[in-house]
Amino acid sequence: MIQRPRGTRDFGPEEMEVRRFFEGMMRQEAVLHGFREISTPIFEHTELFTLKSGPGVIEEIYSFKDKGDREICLRPELTASVIRFFVNDLTTLPRPLKMFYFGQCFRYERPQAGRYREFFQFGAEIIGSPTPETDAEAIGLAAAILERTGLKDYRIRIGHIGILRELLAKAGVPGDNALPILQKLDKKSYPEAEELMAQAGMGVIDIAKIIETTKITGPVSVLDSYDGQARDYIRQVCDVLVAMGFSNISVDLGVVRGLAYYTGMVFEVDAPKLGAEKQICGGGSYSLSELFGGEKVFSTGFAIGFDRTLLALQTEGVEFPQPKLTAYVVPVGDTAREKAFQIASELRRAGISADVDIMRRNIGKNLKSADSAKARYALIIGDKELENCSVTLRDLSSGEQQSIAFADLVQKLKD
Amino acid sequence: MIQRPRGTRDFGPEEMEVRRFFEGMMRQEAVLHGFREISTPIFEHTELFTLKSGPGVIEEIYSFKDKGDREICLRPELTASVIRFFVNDLTTLPRPLKMFYFGQCFRYERPQAGRYREFFQFGAEIIGSPTPETDAEAIGLAAAILERTGLKDYRIRIGHIGILRELLAKAGVPGDNALPILQKLDKKSYPEAEELMAQAGMGVIDIAKIIETTKITGPVSVLDSYDGQARDYIRQVCDVLVAMGFSNISVDLGVVRGLAYYTGMVFEVDAPKLGAEKQICGGGSYSLSELFGGEKVFSTGFAIGFDRTLLALQTEGVEFPQPKLTAYVVPVGDTAREKAFQIASELRRAGISADVDIMRRNIGKNLKSADSAKARYALIIGDKELENCSVTLRDLSSGEQQSIAFADLVQKLKD
């Protein structure tokens, strides 16, 4: 037997029904919010991701040379691809651009619960608008999607790297010098962050204040003891979200994203029931287009981990409407066979789902198949029915049978 | 600027609306026919495809070593993956299994019109049923999908490799010995096919008869001068298709698929308007599972080239219903901003699509944005409206305006 590659999955019919249902729900919600879908290739030039995340990213991705000796890789995420597409082809579209995507991403890492080598992300980006409402509109889409799925237990935590950056600047560590420190804080590596801050000449009190700040979490009022632009900005973002009816948001200054291109608001969503791999969504505002040769443009976006969100929904036992087969057509004997296919085709053309025996089985086995396909009705056609131009319609839950003329079938099953 | 990889495409919002519309239509049609969706990984162990198609296939695919030194590749097609999945995990499901898939495939070949390195296939497989109706059910799904898209100019050509195999066996070239000859006939390389047949000891008349047979095409009656099981089988397939209401089918004994695992019926669909790359669908019955370590199981399937089918639809100017934005919410002045987001959220929660100004633009620019977003209505909220708990609703096609109370908005826009 040939196995599927490690860390990848096959999805059978039951799983795909769940997945397509929630994928469709996310897509629909994005469209309701005025976002439009785009799509980019599964593989990209590796440079796209080393420019964005540094050469270290190569360790974590599927990178290889193609037959033309070009360095390409399976995309580990989609934001870089979206911005590449924007820089190359979409700069003349009216702004703001509100775009979303859904697709596979790939990471070469040890597979474990909730972490796969091939995984699925739903994400959105707003390009070209630098206001707090823009950030709220992005967080609001993520929140509306999670609300629509029916997920109950999740927390939206909003931070702003500007607050730490302002404090670090005041303490004598401005601009790019702060980046290595932010990267340690992002990983909650406090001793190493403290060491870097001490090396940068910061005093013990300032260092303690920074560490303490990253632990601040709660309602917007926890920001009262800070001042500055970043605090005012995050307050406005939260006010808009409250106006939009999202109450399960909190401020968490421990949300730090230690990459140079994040510019301000950052947010994460956790589903606590998932344990160690509980983050189901993350995002923030960033400036990436200039790295790819474009003009500098303010952007905000997020990605939802589709697989983890489904896991969280399963943990909560969320139900979804399963598609049902309406009719299972059963020819009895050879003479009825062509008529059975004619009827199945007529139903299908009328938008009524219909299966039909293709294995020439006896009526007992066919009724069992109709049952296991969870069909609503079996339509039995034998010599007697052919003579009467009718089928025997059997309701598979009640067992009741009635005779229905061929001509009335579509109308009857449409109800 | 970083370019996307050669032979790949980015799809913008307009294109994605078309693509998702037709993808959804194909999926829906398959479900109406009692098929259920499955999904397999984007990459596989390379062995899966060399077993199926021979080592030569490596030249044409994206194959590479992963960091664990495993030979993997981007899938060039999905039938092998579906059968691998079946052999490993699905053998205990009730038969027949009727499955479909939609996704990206990859081939390393020179990009040209209608040929991409990343392309999309919709396909279906029926596993476990060895009757002519099974083949008709597979062809019938392909035909129903194309009918549903609205495509007008296409031809379904049905052949059976058994007819050539029977003739070759009678002429002294039985079983596997016939395969190299069939491969040449598949490529219409007649001189080479003739040479192979002569080498196999066939006489001039027999050779001429084989060549002539591959050129036979027309209604089912063209088979009258042949006999044998294959002819009877193909007649039955066609009879069922006619009962299903598909009249644009013809027999074409030139449809040969030169791979050992094809067992009988083979078919192709062309859209002649596409010129050289006119094949939009191909399939047949095959036996592949035993190559992957499973029991031998009769299977029938097909794949539709999604990109080429869209090209064919475009050539014919087929229209599709474009999604429209219902409301574009325009706050006038700072005080109305939060109310604008509240209203947009209420509409979205009610399933009404709504966009909202996030760039703090003046009313003139916002109305322009609403127009370019093709919104049906602009909802204007200024101080006066806030005071009256109402919005000014402007119909963007007629220019008519009316005042609507906040409380009545959802009802009004639902109509």
Predicted pLDDT at A152: 95
Secondary-structure class of domain B327-414 per CATH: alpha beta
Tell me which CATH code domain A13-315 carries.
Answer: 3.30.930.10
Which one of B13, B99, B359 has the shortest CB-CB distance to A131?
Answer: B359
pLDDT above 70 (res B331): yes
Structure confidence by residue, pLDDT tens digits, B66-106: 988 999 999 999 999 999 999 999 999 999 999 999 999 99
Q: Min CA distance, A304 vs chain B (Å)?
A: 19
Predicted pLDDT at B100: 98
Chain A residues in contact with B346 by the CB 8 A cut-off are: 245
Predicted pLDDT at B81: 98
Structure confidence by residue, pLDDT tens digits, B269-319: 999 999 988 999 999 999 999 999 999 999 999 999 999 999 999 999 988
pLDDT above 70 (res A258): no
Q: Residues B264, B160: contact at Cβ < 8 Å?
A: yes
Nearest C-alpha in A relative to B373: A34
Q: Min CA distance, B43 vs chain A (Å)?
A: 7
pLDDT above 90 (res B112): no
pLDDT above 80 (res B415): no
Nearest C-alpha in B relative to A116: B41
Radius of gyration of chain B (CA): 28
d(CA B212, CA B206): 10
pLDDT above 80 (res B260): no
CA torsion, ordered B339, B344, B349, B352, to nearest 10 deg: 140
Burial class (CB in 10 A: 0-12, 13-18, 19+), A147: middle
Centre a 10 Å sphere on the Cβ of residue A398 and count the other Cβ atoms it contains. Answer: 7
- Interchain contact, B358 vs A134, CB within 8 Å: yes
Predicted pLDDT at A206: 95
Predicted pLDDT at A186: 87
Q: Chain-wide mean pLDDT for chain A?
A: 94
Q: Where are the domains of chain B?
A: 13-315, 327-414
Buried b (16+ CB within 10 A) or exposed e, B373-385: bebbbbbbbbeeb
d(CA B79, CA B49): 10
Structure confidence by residue, pLDDT tens digits, B367-395: 999 999 999 999 999 999 999 999 999 99
Tokens of B96: 């027949």
Tell which phi-psi region holds residue B211, choosing left (phi > 0), alpha (psi between -120 and 50) or beta.
Answer: alpha
- Under the banding of pLDDT at 50, 70 and 90, the label for residue A320 is confident
d(CA A271, CA B216): 64
- Interchain contact, A41 vs B10, CB within 8 Å: yes
pLDDT above 80 (res A257): no
Chain A residues in contact with B87 by the CB 8 A cut-off are: 1
- Interchain contact, A108 vs B66, CB within 8 Å: yes
Which one of A45, A98, A137 has the shortest CB-CB distance to B2?
Answer: A45
Predicted pLDDT at A276: 86
A96: closest CA among A126, A122, A69?
A126
Structure confidence by residue, pLDDT tens digits, A16-75: 999 999 999 999 999 999 999 999 999 999 999 999 888 888 999 999 999 889 999 999
pLDDT above 80 (res A259): no
Interface test with B, best of A3, A9, A10, A73 (most B CBs within 10 A): A10
Range scoring the smallest mean pLDDT among A202-206, B111-115, B398-402: B111-115
Structure confidence by residue, pLDDT tens digits, B121-166: 999 999 999 999 999 999 999 999 999 999 999 999 999 988 888 8
Predicted pLDDT at B228: 83
Predicted pLDDT at A287: 92
Centre a 10 Å sphere on the Cβ of residue A389 and count the other Cβ atoms it contains. Answer: 10
Structure confidence by residue, pLDDT tens digits, A113-133: 778 999 999 999 999 999 999
- Interchain contact, B358 vs A39, CB within 8 Å: no
Determine how β-strand B327-331 pairs with β-strand B354-356: parallel
Structure confidence by residue, pLDDT tens digits, B3-23: 999 999 999 999 999 999 999
d(CA B69, CA B63): 12
Query: Is the minimum CB–CB distance between B290 and chain A shorter than 8 Å?
Result: no
The conformation of residue B7, written as its DSSP 8-state character, comes to T
Q: Residues B306, B120: contact at Cβ < 8 Å?
A: yes
d(CA B10, CA B52): 31
d(CA A195, CA A173): 14
- DSSP H or E run through A124: strand A118-127
Alpha helices per DSSP H over A251-360:
306-315, 337-349
Chain A residues in contact with B129 by the CB 8 A cut-off are: 358-359
pLDDT above 70 (res B258): no
Q: Please state the ipTM of this predicted complex.
A: 0.95
What percentage of chain A carries pLDDT values higher than 70?
Answer: 100
Which one of B19, B42, B358 has the shortest CB-CB distance to A104?
Answer: B42
Query: Is the minimum CB–CB distance between A42 and chain B shorter than 8 Å?
Result: yes
Transcribe A211-260 into DSSP letters. Answer: HHHTT-EESGGGGGG--SHHHHHHHHHHHHHHHTT---EEEETT----ST
Q: Min CA distance, B41 vs chain A (Å)?
A: 6
- Under the banding of pLDDT at 50, 70 and 90, the label for residue A273 is very high
